[in-house]
Amino acid sequence: MAGTSLNDMPSATACGCMGTSALLAGLLPRGIEVSELFADPPDVTSSLYPEEVDLVARAVEKRRREFAAVRMCARTAMARLGVPSAPSLPGEHRSPVWPDGIVGSMTHCDGYRAAAVARRSVVISIGVDAEPHDPLPDGVEEAVLLSEERDAALRLSERRPDTAWDRLIFSAKESVFKAWFPMTAQWLDFSECVVAPDPDRGTFTATLLVPGPVVAGERIQHFTGRWRTRGGIEQGHVATAVLVGIVDPSRAGRDPDPPLVRAAGKSHRQRGKRST
């Protein structure tokens, strides 16, 4: 397809558009609007629409706050695209439902919330993820990383001990899933994609080990992404972002005319993880 790799595009940071305090906001190219919060406004849950309040009415305070704060980010980012404020409700398998012509992704963890949105005429799918910049807890690595990813994390840690590479690869896989799911409505297991980070460029390539989605007649087997850390290990955050099928950032703001996206040729059923 006539798409550009994310690895080849300047980020806002590279353009000198962002301060060093940004995390995801400094990572993505023009045409993708990112809004992020490092602390919640005290009255954050009062920003929810009634339909959204209902969804988290029985949730714990922590969940209500992250749910509200990330939706605040989403509305801020969409306002920059000129999209009117509206409830942001979860759809199939908790995947966020965006207004017509908009694609996006949300993430939250302790001390960080972010949403990235764009017009579908600019990019076909977005996945963003942020994690605490800590090594994965004991026992988790084997469950979420393939052996070649564990080997890569070890090698990279020897060369660059300032980065929790196992957590970074895990985050990249979460970003891959968030970009993958809206295109396919199918589950993607941790064993079905291998992530290879480039420590010098701040990018990664995710190779799908199952048939990828078909976009404009071409099957996509590789997703490209970017990563960034803010703060040292056990202090800050690591964030990753995947953009699938960047069409043309210069079309930001124009009417959507999305290429046809056909579901990947997978047959096994999706499996749920958790519900709101």
Ligand X SMILES: CC(C)(COP(=O)(O)OP(=O)(O)OC[C@H]1O[C@@H](n2cnc3c(N)ncnc32)[C@H](O)[C@@H]1OP(=O)(O)O)[C@@H](O)C(=O)NCCC(=O)NCCS
Nearest distance, CB of residue 10 and ligand X, angstroms:
25
Angle, CA of 13, 15 and 20, to the nearest 5° = 25
Nearest distance, CB of residue 130 and ligand X, angstroms:
6
Which residues is 219 bridged to in the sheet? 214
Which residues is 126 bridged to in the sheet? 243
CB of 92 or CB of 257, closer to ligand X: 92
CB of 15 or CB of 263, closer to ligand X: 263
Amino acid occupying residue 232: G
CB of 30 or CB of 111, closer to ligand X: 111
Nearest distance, CB of residue 15 and ligand X, angstroms:
26
Nearest distance, CB of residue 229 and ligand X, angstroms:
16
CB within 8 A of 246, min separation 6: which ones? 3, 4, 5, 6, 9, 29, 122, 123
> What does the binding site for ligand X look like in residue numbers (CB under 6 A)?
67, 70, 90, 93-96, 106-109, 129, 173-174, 176-178, 181-182, 188, 190, 193, 273
Nearest distance, CB of residue 63 and ligand X, angstroms:
8
CB of 251 or CB of 266, closer to ligand X: 266
CB of 165 or CB of 181, closer to ligand X: 181
For 216-246, give the DSSP string: TTEE--EEEEEEEEES-TTTSEEEEEEEE-B
53, 87 in Cβ contact below 8 A? no
